[in-house]
């Protein structure tokens, strides 16, 4: 064994862990091997056996490493991926009542994967697919647009005042500027590093999946006498009917008529990122079908509804001009909504039926022959 | 810009290659100075005005001493200016609060307005460093630094700007003058120091802070075991936090060919309070010894004066740490401890009969007790903690076992390091294994810390 030189040892440091260049090289090699192989080995070790109608458990919504793994799995088994926010995920209904489930039921086989993620607004969705959805290529994609994210400047992330929105790690960290995003530079750089180095997103996965979305030190504060290593059970939470009855964003919890301050598509940040997502998916050879709404128009003031219709027309116009297949379903019956944008179980069933009757859907997703 | 955050990593990745490219040229020091000012301005660009002012004034004062003589007058101006800066930025609020209490007790209805001054980061460190330069020149211990750029770099050298070590001109100025001749070993030593400091700060200090902050935020809600453990953990937290900072500072400087002073030397293995202060914040202890204790008379006269000087120095040292009575009391507690144990530590009985481990335990217990006053939000909180430690019940403290286990491992490492089996820790496989484990722990498990260093606020 090599022993370090004693010269100047006393003044070096009280802790005296001193490595030579050669020894640092060994440390670098060991760490690099673990850095690159760790996440891959972990994928093999960790049990991940999604059942039919699987959806990412709500508590793992921020686990982008798992999303990447799931999207790879889904791409290998499903024809069509249904991508969107909680409206697709269906946190208020059982997994047997989501839109992808009803689509599968009508199709008679498991063709539609539920790729919904709680709170993933278009700005975050663009980041999610850009960095963690690289495996989604050559597939049919139903891309859901929840116009709720354009219902105010705040939700559109277009205000100067700091606003803690969902999934900040997926938003652009530097350019383009998100006016209400005021995180520290250190956190922003961490988020960027996580996107490009799987090791970091994997270590986030460990925190989210096994330490209740906390880092280990914080977790031990809540479990002071437990062995943190025992928490790593290699078993992920399942998505078995985990309905979140209480998870209702304030903005959606209204029952009285509401005067939504719709943001014009021309200036909307969310809409511009949604368009980028369409371009990205198309560039990856996916067939994209956009589902716009249906938003709960029953809770809108008349003036708000008028502005909403205009906004929807502009969105439709852009989709037509760019030859994107889409469907803007009519508003569902009043009782078929859970809130402003989430349909109830019956609402999802009705929406699925409407989709299967839609000509554009048949052509682009079901690949039906065009009617003469 | 904190050493353990991404902006510093990027900052250093830009500064370092350019420094290497310029190290043989005249642009080396201007570049270091520019980097140091950017580093400091990152906290608040307005701080730069103060730093420039303090630097310029002491530079001019020493210039005047050389050109015009009347050294005492110029020294007085320099010291008065330094103390005024510290007094204004650090102690104005403290003085105002106390005056208001006094006015109120005299039943005078007038209330002085709160000054509302933001304390510039690291002010105590660079002011003390600058003061040491003028005093050393006055004493004839050093030559005047002719170049303003070199002097400004000495005062603001970024690795040590925020929280020391407080360098002496005779150590750092010659290094700034020389063309850096650093070997590969210097660079690897720098990395070694940095990684250990990083681990101490992020994996240990910030972890322990989670428990300490919770208990010290509401000490009246917790009972004896929790209060004892929080105080015990704080003792280690502040050690990891401050020595971690120093290790990182020394590491960064070492990669650039500079040797900064050793600031911590396993202080919790001290066998006496005198020994403790020769191992804890060494650069500050020696500063107070050279510029306060010795000018007061040191131990040159009878014992009473020696004790009086020792006492005063410790109390002033306490006040240096912060503008609050809790820091003064912390200084008083240490002063009393030092005065009472000085003779004891010199006896043959203490030196030879008392087992080393017992001495270490006694010193650690005393130092940890004194930390209560250092950490408590107010004197009343400190009093609550002290009384509740001895009088409250024994409710479950819910202290993470992992935190205690990590402290034990560090203590064991330090203990082994100073014992006969210290050679085991010098084995390459042991050192490599420790570093790999530290790196992996940091990346996988540690929190994404952005907590500031405790000593920055001083």
- Whether residue B265 has pLDDT greater than 70: yes
Mean pLDDT of B159-164: 85
**A285 belongs to a structural domain:** yes
B214 touches chain A (CB under 8 A): yes
pLDDT, one tens digit per residue, over B187-239 is: 888 998 999 999 998 889 999 999 999 999 999 999 999 999 999 999 999 99
Residue A4 pLDDT grade (very low, low, confident, very high; cuts 50, 70, 90): very low
- CB under 8 A, 24+ apart: contacts of B241-244: B241/B200, B241/B201, B241/B205, B241/B209, B241/B453, B241/B454, B241/B455, B242/B163, B242/B281, B242/B453, B242/B454, B242/B455, B243/A14, B243/B197, B243/B200, B244/B196, B244/B197, B244/B198, B244/B199, B244/B200, B244/B201, B244/B204, B244/B205, B244/B453
Inter-CA distances, B260 with A214, B287, B343, Å? 37, 15, 33
pLDDT at B358: 92
| Residue A47, helix vs strand vs coil | strand
The alpha carbon of residue B267 is apart from the nearest alpha carbon of chain A, in Å, by 9
Round the average pLDDT of chain B to a whole number and report it: 88
Yes or no, beta carbons of A23 and B431 under 8 Å apart: yes
Chain B positions in Cβ-Cβ contact with residue A217 (cut-off 8 Å): 206-207, 210, 400, 402-403, 445-447
pLDDT, one tens digit per residue, over A142-197 is: 999 999 999 999 999 999 999 999 999 999 999 899 999 998 888 898 899 889 98
Residue among B109, B254, B115, B282 nearest B180 (CA): B254
Structurally, chain A folds into a number of domains equal to 1
- Whether residue B423 has pLDDT greater than 90: no
CB-CB: which of A1, A199, A217 is closest to B447? A217
**Lowest pLDDT segment from B34-38, B127-131, B349-353, B398-402:** B349-353
Inter-CA distances, A336 with A152, A339, A343, B55, B166, Å? 24, 9, 6, 72, 70
Are B283 and B164 a contacting pair, CB within 8 Å? yes
For the record, the structure tokens of B438 come out as 């530290």
Q: Which ipTM score applies to this complex?
A: 0.81
Yes or no, beta carbons of A224 and B401 under 8 Å apart: yes
Q: Known catalytic residue: B321?
A: yes
CB-CB: which of A1, A185, A220 is closest to B428? A1
The DSSP 8-state label assigned to residue A131 in this structure reads I
CB-CB: which of B188, B210, B445 is closest to A21? B188
Mean pLDDT of B351-367: 91
For the record, the structure tokens of A48 come out as 């991940």
**A211 belongs to a structural domain:** yes
The residue in chain B having the minimum alpha-carbon distance to the alpha carbon of residue A39 is B444
Task: Measure CA B81 to chain center.
Answer: 23
- Whether residue B454 has pLDDT greater than 80: no
| Residue A141, helix vs strand vs coil | strand
Inter-CA distances, B386 with B70, B214, B314, B418, Å? 52, 17, 22, 33
Residue among B345, B383, B374 nearest B362 (CA): B345
| Residue A72, helix vs strand vs coil | helix
Distance CA B280, CA B240 (A): 12
**A65 belongs to a structural domain:** yes
**A27 belongs to a structural domain:** no
**A29 belongs to a structural domain:** no
pLDDT at A249: 43
pTM of the entire predicted model: 0.83
Round the average pLDDT of chain A to a whole number and report it: 87
Sheet holding A80-84, edge to edge: A112-116, A80-84, A140-145, A287-292, A325-327
**A17 belongs to a structural domain:** no
| Residue A81, helix vs strand vs coil | strand
Q: Which of B2, B5, B6, B418 to mutate to test the interface with A (most CBs of A within 10 A)?
A: B6
Supply the range of the domain harboring residue A230: 52-341
pLDDT at B119: 77
For the record, the structure tokens of B123 come out as 């002010």
**A301 belongs to a structural domain:** yes
pLDDT, one tens digit per residue, over A20-59 is: 889 999 999 999 998 889 888 998 888 888 888 899 988 8
């Amino acid at each position: 064994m090599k022993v370090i030189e004693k010269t100047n040892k006393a003044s070096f440091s009280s802790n005296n862990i001193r490595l030579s260049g050669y020894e640092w090289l060994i440390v670098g090699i060991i760490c690099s091997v673990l850095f690159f192989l760790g996440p891959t080995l972990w994928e093999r070790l960790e049990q991940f056996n999604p059942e039919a109608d699987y959806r990412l458990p709500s508590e793992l919504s921020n686990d982008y490493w798992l999303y990447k793994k799931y999207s790879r799995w889904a791409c290998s088994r499903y024809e069509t991926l249904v991508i969107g926010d909680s409206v697709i995920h269906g946190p208020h209904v059982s997994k047997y009542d989501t839109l992808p489930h009803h689509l599968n039921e009508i199709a008679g086989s498991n063709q539609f994967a539920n790729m919904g993620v709680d709170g993933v607004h278009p700005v975050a969705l663009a980041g999610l697919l850009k960095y963690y959805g690289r495996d989604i290529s050559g597939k049919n994609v139903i891309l859901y647009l929840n116009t709720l994210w354009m219902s105010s400047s705040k939700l559109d992330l277009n205000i100067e005042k700091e606003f803690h929105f969902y999934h900040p790690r997926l938003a652009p960290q530097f350019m383009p500027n998100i006016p209400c995003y005021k995180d520290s530079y250190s956190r922003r750089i961490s988020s960027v590093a996580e996107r490009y180095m799987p090791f970091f997103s994997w270590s986030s996965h460990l925190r989210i999946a096994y330490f209740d979305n906390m880092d280990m030190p914080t977790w031990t504060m809540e479990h002071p006498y437990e062995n943190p290593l025992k928490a790593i059970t290699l078993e992920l939470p399942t998505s078995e009917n985990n309905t979140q009855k209480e998870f209702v964003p304030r903005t959606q919890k209204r029952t009285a008529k509401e005067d939504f301050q719709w943001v014009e598509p021309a200036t909307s940040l969310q809409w511009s990122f949604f368009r980028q997502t369409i371009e990205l998916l198309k560039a990856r050879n996916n067939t994209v079908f956009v589902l716009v709404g249906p938003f709960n128009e029953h809770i809108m003031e008349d003036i708000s509804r008028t502005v909403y219709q205009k906004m929807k027309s502009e969105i439709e116009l852009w989709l037509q001009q760019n030859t994107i297949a889409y469907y803007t379903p009519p508003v569902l019956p009043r009782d078929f909504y859970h809130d402003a944008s989430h349909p109830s179980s019956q609402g999802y069933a009705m929406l699925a039926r409407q989709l299967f009757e839609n000509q554009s859907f048949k052509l682009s997703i079901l690949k039906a022959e065009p009617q003469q | 810009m904190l050493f353990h955050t991404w902006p510093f990593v990027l900052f250093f990745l830009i500064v370092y290659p350019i420094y290497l490219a310029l190290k043989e040229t005249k642009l080396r020091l201007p570049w270091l100075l520019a980097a140091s000012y950017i580093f400091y301005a990152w906290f608040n660009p307005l701080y730069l005005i103060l730093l420039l002012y303090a630097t310029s004034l002491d530079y001019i004062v020493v210039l005047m001493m050389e050109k015009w003589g009347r050294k005492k007058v110029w020294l007085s101006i320099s010291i008065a200016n330094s103390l005024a800066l510290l007094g204004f930025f650090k102690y104005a609020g403290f003085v105002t609060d106390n005056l208001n209490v006094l006015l109120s007790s005299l039943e005078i209805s007038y209330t002085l307005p709160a000054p509302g001054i933001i304390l510039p980061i690291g002010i105590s460190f660079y002011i003390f460093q600058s003061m040491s330069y003028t005093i050393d020149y006055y004493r004839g211990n050093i030559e005047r630094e002719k170049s303003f750029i070199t002097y400004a770099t000495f005062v603001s050298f970024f690795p040590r700007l925020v929280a020391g070590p407080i360098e002496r001109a005779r150590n750092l100025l010659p290094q700034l003058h020389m063309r850096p001749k650093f070997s590969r070993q210097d660079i690897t030593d720098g990395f070694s120091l940095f990684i250990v400091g990083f681990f101490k700060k992020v994996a240990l200090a910030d972890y322990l802070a989670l428990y300490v902050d919770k208990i010290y935020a509401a000490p009246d809600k917790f009972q004896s075991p929790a209060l004892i453990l929080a105080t015990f953990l704080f003792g280690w937290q502040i050690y990891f936090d401050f020595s971690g900072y120093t290790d990182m500072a020394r590491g960064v400087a070492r990669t650039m060919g500079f040797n900064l002073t050793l600031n911590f030397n396993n202080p919790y293995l001290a066998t006496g309070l005198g020994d403790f202060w020769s191992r804890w914040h060494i650069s500050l202890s020696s500063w107070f010894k050279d510029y306060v204790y010795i000018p007061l008379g040191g131990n040159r006269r009878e014992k009473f004066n020696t004790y009086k000087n020792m006492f005063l120095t410790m109390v002033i040292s306490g006040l240096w740490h912060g503008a609050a009575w809790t820091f003064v009391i912390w200084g008083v507690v240490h002063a009393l401890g030092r005065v009472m144990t000085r003779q004891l530590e010199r006896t043959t009985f203490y030196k030879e009969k008392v087992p080393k481990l017992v001495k270490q335990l006694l010193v650690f217990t005393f130092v940890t007790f004194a930390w209560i006053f250092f950490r408590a939000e107010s004197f009343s909180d400190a009093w609550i903690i002290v009384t509740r430690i001895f009088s409250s019940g024994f409710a479950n403290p819910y202290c993470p076992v992992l935190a205690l286990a990590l402290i034990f491992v560090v203590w064991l490492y330090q203990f082994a390091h100073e014992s006969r089996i210290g050679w085991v820790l010098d084995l390459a496989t042991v050192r490599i294994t420790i570093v790999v484990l530290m790196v992996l722990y940091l990346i996988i498990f540690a929190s994404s810390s952005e907590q500031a260093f405790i000593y920055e606020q001083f």
